[in-house]
Amino acid sequence: METQTKKLDWIDALKAFALIGILLNHAVESFQSYPWFSNPSSDWPDFAERMSNIFPKDGSFFVRLIQFLGWLGDMGPGVFIFLSGLTLTLSALNKPLKNIDFYKSRALRIYPLYISIHLIVLIIAILFFKWGSTSMLLYTPLSILGLRFTNILFGFLNPSWWFIWLIVQLYLLFPFLLSLLKNKGIVFFLGTTFIITILSRISGILGYTFTGDLYSWMTGLFAGTRLFEFSFGMYFGFLLQNKNIKLSKILSNKSRLLLGSIVIYLIGFMASWTYIGSILSNILITIGLSGIFYAIYKLIIEGNKTLEIPLLWIGKNSFSVFLLHQPFMIYFGSSLNGYTKSIALVVIIISSFVAGHYIEKLVIRLFPFVQSKYYSFLSIFKQDLGLFFSIGSIIGASLLSFLILWGKIGISKYIFLIYLIQASYLLFYRLLVRPELPIRLFRYLDVSIFFSIAILLLNWNWMPIFGFFLIFAYSLLFCLRNLSHWSGVTIVLVVLTLSISMGEFLFRKYKPIEVGTWGEFPALQVDSETIYSLIPNKLTHLKYNNYDYYVKTNSLGFASPEIDLTNKSSNDIRIMILGDAFSMPEGLEYEFSYPALLEKKLQNEFSEKTIHVINAGVTGYGPIEEQAQLKKYIDIIKPNIIINQLFINEFDDINYTKTSKLIGIGLKNEKIYKRKFLSRTLFPVEITSNFRSLLKLNNDKIYRYNKSFLFLYEKKSALYCDTVIAKMNSFLSQMNKLSVEKKAKYIVFGVPGQLEVSDPKFISYFPYSENLKDSTKFDFNLPLRIFHDLCMKNNITYWDFKNYLKNYTVQPLYFEESWHWNKAGHVAIAELLFAYLKDTEDLKNLVNNNKYLESAKK
């Protein structure tokens, strides 16, 4: 046995070499020095620039050489992947285990030490590094389990821990891979795993993955990208165990092995310079590097006690050091500079070896005690373990949705799948395993089945609180344990149903919000010509979010008083307003709107004429709806002047399809019953939102960024690409052309966003986390400037209200909790429109001659 162990000392030597490379890599990276090779990333510069930075440029040759070796150290984890496959195969072939026993042994090998060091690092990070934040609460439970399956989790707290997630995935696959190797043969085994690896890496290069982060995908976010390095290690272990003669010859000729490994490594290294080459580069680098390390150990180190003993000791302690060192490098690397930083990094590395060694020894000593207590506890519930696991997974999925995935509908589908599987399992358990279940657990099982099936019928927004319902139900069942089975179950279901119903009623009455549909939904209808419109001849009370107002429509479905349009006398002047929620208006009754106020001012000024300001504004209307609306009504209204109010979000609205608009409003959905009855329920959304706010879990940064329309001011936004600008130009051109054809003057005025004109204290959603003065990222004149330029291009009169609103004597002019004008805002707009109109030749000609404007003809 001692001889056999001695023969495998080179495994620890390879671990030591790989760890030294990783430590050097992390030290170099703490100086903000990164390579443009190894695993590719989406932000790679062009090939020429990457080639010019293959070797560092700054500093002395010695410093640059250290940097370069540190860059190469980023390839070290591949050696650990290779060795994992090798050692697992040797162990499995020497001492075969059942799958469950294998998983248990692997969990006991990595998790006690990993969790211990994880908690130590977490405590130090929060107490000393001051890294504490909401994300710690959100991601720590998953990180402790090694589940680092998203871009944020992948590098959370300690970037090195991505390896744990990768190795967990490979451990789960190992029994099946070993069966494939033994039953299908080496060629099929290597061919299959190679194809999977290549396809996984190609899918990353082409962007066909669930993550947009190419680097994390190729590094090991998905184990398929590193599978062949692991399977090649298994193949190597298989040959070793079977004393393969060819392998023995290769390993015995160490000089030739070194030369061949260098060639393979260099090919892999050069392949890593390009996206295409990176499909194969990791495989070649890992195989080549492992061969180089083996040959160096055999040629130089083995037998030299001065070098061999410390090297093997490093290899034996590599796991604890790997887990421990990087957060301290990150912290001190960001707060120190120059030689002081270099000395500190050396001290951190040495300290990590010492601390890691003793932490591992302590964990090994304490773990048998903890393990015995665990099994003692587990034995009590052994017969019910399957049931507990099923119920626990449902509650866990719900809590996960509550903590992290709230609002992420795409990911919620996977949570929904968990519910479906577990509900099926619980039902199967209830019907077929009943004799084995203690009577006391039947009521818990029945309630679990009821709620698990119910969640399949509900909308995704119920998922975050589903687990809390179950916990509450179990607590209530425990209090009712002296009642009969069905009495207890019935009472629990009735209490919960009544509680939810009462909660829904109270939320709708006192705190309604937009859920599943627009708040204006009761006042809207599908329209075959304009996609949707206001329902004609209807008075609707709209109460949602911070709004509480009435919308009254006329026979045309406009939020204007009824007007007799049948005969237009020579005394009539008609001004048609096209626009969205700013014009309708949203949040206010019509008499407070700028169209109503404008009409009064114009009528008082020109009392000898009959002036009608016809407000066709509809909430949410964009260029597509407004163009269709003008075509539909221009011959009916016969306007003299058409004023088109445009908001900065038109560049987004112009890209919406009819279907997406109707679905967003709530006027169209394939699952009618869900849309009508379940997706509009306020109870789950209100409970989740308020509870998350109480725990400070809401992501205000994203909410404020989107609510403030900050994305519309991004200089590089795709909303201002040539295609969108061309659409907007076509819209304005056609609107103006139609107006001229119908002898009307077409005028456009752009509405600035609240960020452009209001003091931050008047904006409840002001994005304080963003640097709004960053002129390289944001341009707060961009949307309105494009409106202006396009109008000038098409000879359209354009009115700019931005500076006027910004300097208006009364503030604020917008609702503090939403985008639209308040009463003061509408007064300000009416005053300015009045001032513009009464002094223009357009209106003067109409008042004096009632003739079509010569300017419009042009």
Over residues 723-740, the pLDDT tens digits come to 899 999 999 999 999 999
Of 343, 369, 395, the residue at which a domain comes to its end is: 369
712 and 744 share one domain:
yes
Most confident of 33-37, 456-460, 490-494, 621-625: 621-625
> What is residue 852's predicted lDDT score, i.e. its pLDDT?
42
440 and 307 share one domain:
no
Cα–Cα distance measured from residue 368 to residue 26, given in angstroms and rounded to the nearest whole number = 34
| Tens-place pLDDT, residues 508-549 | 888 888 877 888 999 999 999 999 999 999 999 999 888 999
Backbone φ and ψ of 598, nearest 5°: -65, -45
Please report whether residue 453 resides in a domain.
yes
613 in helix, strand or coil? strand
Under a CB-based contact definition with an 8 Å cutoff, are residues 167 and 221 in contact? no
526 and 440 share one domain:
no
Mean pLDDT score, 576-583 = 96
pTM, rounded to two decimals: 0.55
Mean pLDDT score, 735-752 = 95
* Encoded amino acid at 302, one letter: E
Cα–Cα distance measured from residue 406 to residue 404, given in angstroms and rounded to the nearest whole number = 6
Of 510, 531, 558, the residue at which a domain comes to its end is: 510
Which residues, 6+ apart, have CB-to-CB distance to 638 below 8 Å? 565, 568, 574, 742
Please report whether residue 374 resides in a domain.
no
Is the pLDDT confidence value at 641 over 50?
yes
Residue 183 φ/ψ region, left for φ over 0, alpha for ψ in the -120 to 50 degree band, beta for the rest: alpha
Cα–Cα distance measured from residue 341 to residue 332, given in angstroms and rounded to the nearest whole number = 7
Mean pLDDT of the residues in the chain: 86
Please report whether residue 376 resides in a domain.
no
Per-residue pLDDT band at 629 (split at 50, 70, 90): very high
> What is residue 716's predicted lDDT score, i.e. its pLDDT?
86
> What is residue 53's predicted lDDT score, i.e. its pLDDT?
81
Is the pLDDT confidence value at 121 over 80?
yes
Most confident of 364-373, 482-491, 775-784: 775-784
603 and 469 share one domain:
no
Question: Tokens 């947009």 sit at which residue?
Answer: 212
What's the angle, vertex CA 453, arms to CA 449 and CA 454, rounded to 5? 115
> What is residue 279's predicted lDDT score, i.e. its pLDDT?
95
- Buried b vs exposed e over 669-707: b needs ≥16 C-beta within 10 Å? eeeeebbeebbbbbbbbbbbbeebeeeebbeeeeebbeb
Is the pLDDT confidence value at 794 over 90?
yes
> What is residue 325's predicted lDDT score, i.e. its pLDDT?
94
506 and 526 share one domain:
no
Mean pLDDT score, 428-455 = 69
- What is the pairing mode between strands 531-534 and 745-751? unpaired
Please report whether residue 233 resides in a domain.
yes
Please report whether residue 515 resides in a domain.
no
> What is residue 275's predicted lDDT score, i.e. its pLDDT?
92
> What is residue 238's predicted lDDT score, i.e. its pLDDT?
95
- Helical spans, DSSP H, in 381-484: 385-403, 409-432, 442-457, 463-479
Which residues, 6+ apart, have CB-to-CB distance to 338 below 8 Å? none
Number of domains forming the structure of the chain: 3
651 and 790 share one domain:
yes
Residue 375 or 544, more confident? 544
Q: Considering only CA atoms, which of 660, 796, 792 is closest in space to residue 737?
A: 796
Please report whether residue 516 resides in a domain.
no
> What is residue 86's predicted lDDT score, i.e. its pLDDT?
96
Q: Considering only CA atoms, which of 183, 167, 155 is closest in space to residue 88?
A: 167
> What is residue 137's predicted lDDT score, i.e. its pLDDT?
63
Cα–Cα distance measured from residue 343 to residue 347, given in angstroms and rounded to the nearest whole number = 6
Residue 343's domain comprises 2-369
The pLDDT > 70 percentage for the chain reads 86
Cis peptide, bond prior to residue 585, ω within 30 of zero: yes
Residue 438 or 854, more confident? 438
Cα–Cα distance measured from residue 779 to residue 773, given in angstroms and rounded to the nearest whole number = 9
829 and 715 share one domain:
yes
Is the pLDDT confidence value at 798 over 90?
yes
> What is residue 704's predicted lDDT score, i.e. its pLDDT?
84
> What is residue 5's predicted lDDT score, i.e. its pLDDT?
44
Residue 647 maps to which CATH number?
3.40.50.1110
Is the pLDDT confidence value at 3 over 70?
no
Backbone φ and ψ of 540, nearest 5°: -120, 130
Please report whether residue 375 resides in a domain.
no
Residue 312 or 662, more confident? 312
Mean pLDDT score, 218-241 = 95
> What is residue 1's predicted lDDT score, i.e. its pLDDT?
39
20 and 150 share one domain:
yes
> What is residue 651's predicted lDDT score, i.e. its pLDDT?
93
Please report whether residue 569 resides in a domain.
yes
297 and 400 share one domain:
no
Of 310, 335, 369, the residue at which a domain comes to its end is: 369
Three-state SS letters, 232-295: HHHHHHHHHHCCCHHHHHHHHCHHHHHHHHHHHHHHHHHHCCCCCCHHHHHHHHHHHHHHHHHH
The β-bridge partners of 645 are 749
Is the pLDDT confidence value at 853 over 70?
no
749 and 832 share one domain:
yes
> What is residue 747's predicted lDDT score, i.e. its pLDDT?
95
Residue 38 or 545, more confident? 545
> What is residue 675's predicted lDDT score, i.e. its pLDDT?
44
Q: Considering only CA atoms, which of 610, 548, 554, 613 is closest in space to residue 579?
A: 613
Mean pLDDT score, 53-57 = 85
Cα–Cα distance measured from residue 152 to residue 216, given in angstroms and rounded to the nearest whole number = 10
Residue 419 or 497, more confident? 497
Cα–Cα distance measured from residue 710 to residue 373, given in angstroms and rounded to the nearest whole number = 55
420 and 315 share one domain:
no
Which residues, 6+ apart, have CB-to-CB distance to 746 below 8 Å? 642, 644, 735, 736, 739, 740, 796, 797, 856
334 and 403 share one domain:
no
Per-residue pLDDT band at 401 (split at 50, 70, 90): low
527 in helix, strand or coil? strand
Residue 431 or 379, more confident? 431
Mean pLDDT score, 582-609 = 94
